[in-house]
Structure 1
Amino acid sequence: MAVDDQEENGTFPTPRRNGHFVGHDDAEKTILDAWNSKRMHHAWLLCGPRGVGKATLAYRMARFVLSGGNEQGGGLFGDAPEGLHVDPENPVFRRIAGGGHGDLKVIERQYDEKKKRLQGEITVDSVRTVGNFMSKTAAEGGWRIVIVDAADELNRNAANAILKVLEEPPANAMMILVAHQPGKLLPTIRSRCRRLNLGVLEDHQVIDLLGRYCPDLDLDDRDALSGLAEGSIGRALQLHDVGGLEFYTEMVRLLAALPDADVLAQHKFAERFSPADRDAAFATVTDLLHWWLGRLIRFAATGQAPREVITGELPAMQRMAAAQPLDQWIEVWEKISELMSATRGLHLDRKQALLNAFFMLEETMRN
């Protein structure tokens, strides 16, 4: 199936297959200027929040460089290219999308067959061959490129192995590091990379992208998801995939009823996350609760009303903020955060954890 077909069918393409890129014109121009001036750095560090397009840009760079950088120029008249776009029908695009380009190596967390999940970090075993790969002559006579997604997931030994390559970069070889939290990287790695910071997307950009990837979503739902995602199309799509907007709507309805708790409704809501196969759903709802309480605390501290994602949540925040001083809400936020973290980490009773969280909030409002 072609990439264009994926997008028409409403399936969100992975960064490797995604030819659509918006919202970071300055970053793209910086890369293009470096290419056109023949000063392409051997290492790039793409930083920013999760889901804003860092990995998509990394693959966009790789396609552009591995196709000779002349998709939109450099033809008969030697015109400089005006963008990084490579046509999805280009053989380089197709081979990278299929994971079969000999001059591109991707380093990422590996799947643990025993635990049936991705490893928590990138280990040194995954990066042992990077130096040898980059030092070889390119199979197609151009560049050799390594993408590390994400570099802040490298363990210590893996990071040191990457650093060794960066200290002695081969000619016509490039490393592109994606980092959600660049502060976790070794300072020596950061110092050897040219850094590009990608900010969050505008709401209208997230809404437009949701319309592109999820065409059956109506405008109100796209607008609400953009509010929950706070500029991250990746987060918006993840929330849509697991029903996050529905969870959020029900959760806020229960919070808005406090301190007069609807115990039956709370039990029905919490029961949805009990089954063993509901890991992703439980992680989503706990993250949403943590996010909502964080906004409540900011509102209580500053008096600045947050954007109302769904109708009724602002009055609920106003009542809760007026019920107790700020320090009380910070304390209960910390307790609930610890409870949810322990529940996920130790596989405790999810339903009971959510019911306990609602009870803590109810008691805080009553005291």
Structure 2
Amino acid sequence: MQEDPRLASLHLHGHEAPLQAFRRIFEGGRLPHAWLITGPPGIGKATFAFRLARMILGGETPESPAGRRISAATHADLLVVSRSFDEKKQRHRGEIVADEVRPINAFLRRTAAEGGWRVVIVDGAEWLNRSAANALLKILEEPPPAAVLLLTCSAPGRLLPTLRSRCRRLELEPLDARAMMAVLKDIQPGASAEDISRVQAAAHGAPGRAVAFLADQNGQMAGMVEDVLKGVSASREYDIAEAVLRKDEGFNLFFSLLSDFLQERARQAARQGHPSCVALASAWEAIMSLQSETERFNLDKQETLLEAMTIASIA
């Protein structure tokens, strides 16, 4: 299980360059009102956003009053907007709607409770639907004083161009091996050095991916993906889909592994000059699009898995 980004922000590993770039601008006294924090899924964008919020609100020291309130999610000058969780379906909803964005207006109209800045974090801005994006755009067009909006986004191409143009961008790069080791020891203190080493290469510098791979005990999910790529019967596809959906984060882990295997096959085929590299690349693209659309529009995950397995098996 991943650590709460509010708490993880107290001991941020990696991302030193963008953090220092933001600090210089903040300490220089000319802080832009909106920031877009981008990077691959699982790289720590939410954790980074909370670290910036701590800097702005004077809560970088955990024992400070502001630091304690941020950790406890009780700081009156910090508002967080993200996809809500559907308790009935036990998953996050497929989009951020306008009703979840509108409280930002009321929050920013209030005087700062502690007499300084007000900070809004929009975590996962790529999930904003059209109405929510337009509501946020209106806020960015007429930003109030002493207010900062921090948007995290794994797919900035999904955002309205007018939204992107009103934000200063900070791009997070994959963590190096030392930072990955440190953050995984924080998140998974019980994991062995061997387990951590095993998942580091597959995680591509994204701690969130590494945690998912650590959850794949004995490589069971990886084995199912390899079976799919070799070709399995329709009944076996249904068995695999059911097994994937029974696991926490199984859906995302399956697609991460399938993506990695297809990319590696495509690279090998390209190096050998084999024409199959084109089909493999097309399959990878189709499968990634399928995953994205399923999460965005709350489509049936079992049907998505079955369709992805069909695409992969004929690539």
Q: TM-score range by the shorter chain?
A: 0.7 to 0.9
| 1:24 CA displacement | 1.2
Question: 2:166 corresponds to which letter in structure 1?
Answer: R
In the alignment, structure 1 segments of 5+ residues that lack a partner are: 1-10, 72-85, 304-320
Once the two structures are superposed, the pairs formed by residues 246-325 of structure 1 within 5 Å of their partners are 246-251=219-224, 254=227, 271=239, 273-274=241-242, 277-278=246-247, 280-303=249-272, 325=276
Task: Give me the whole-angstrom Cα distance separating, in 2, the residues matched to 1:89 and 1:144.
Answer: 21
What are the Cα deviations for residues 244-288 of structure 1, in whole angstroms up to 9, with x where unaligned?
6613553477589x69x9x9xx96x98465256347324422431
| 1:331 CA displacement | 6.6
Once the two structures are superposed, the pairs formed by residues 1-367 of structure 1 within 5 Å of their partners are 12-18=2-8, 19-67=10-58, 86-113=60-87, 115-241=89-215, 243=216, 246-251=219-224, 254=227, 271=239, 273-274=241-242, 277-278=246-247, 280-303=249-272, 325-327=276-278, 329=280, 345-346=299-300, 348=302, 360=313
What are the Cα deviations for residues 15-59 of structure 1, in whole angstroms up to 9, with x where unaligned?
112111122111111111112211112111111111222211111
1:46 to 1:245, Cα distance in 2 relative to 1, 3 A: farther
Task: Give me the whole-angstrom Cα distance separating, in 2, the residues matched to 1:146 and 1:333.
Answer: 35
SS of match in other structure, 2:6: helix
| 1:147 CA displacement | 0.6
More helix by share: 2
Task: Give me the whole-angstrom Cα distance separating, in 1, the residues matched to 2:144 and 2:309.
Answer: 57
Counterpart residue number, 1:310: none
Aligned length: 308
Counterpart residue number, 1:308: none
Question: 1:299 corresponds to which letter in structure 2?
Answer: Q
In the alignment, structure 2 segments of 5+ residues that lack a partner are: none
Q: Give TM-score, length-normalised by structure 2.
A: 0.82
| 1:186 CA displacement | 1.5
Task: Give me the whole-angstrom Cα distance separating, in 2, the residues matched to 1:65 and 1:234.
Answer: 25
Structure with bigger gyration radius: 1
Task: Give me the whole-angstrom Cα distance separating, in 1, the residues matched to 2:139 and 2:290.
Answer: 42
1:28 to 1:218, Cα distance in 2 relative to 1, 3 A: same
Question: 1:167 corresponds to which letter in structure 2?
Answer: E
Question: 1:17 corresponds to which letter in structure 2?
Answer: L
Question: 2:17 corresponds to which letter in structure 1?
Answer: D
Task: Give me the whole-angstrom Cα distance separating, in 2, the residues matched to 1:288 and 1:350.
Answer: 15
RMSD (Å), alpha carbons: 3.5
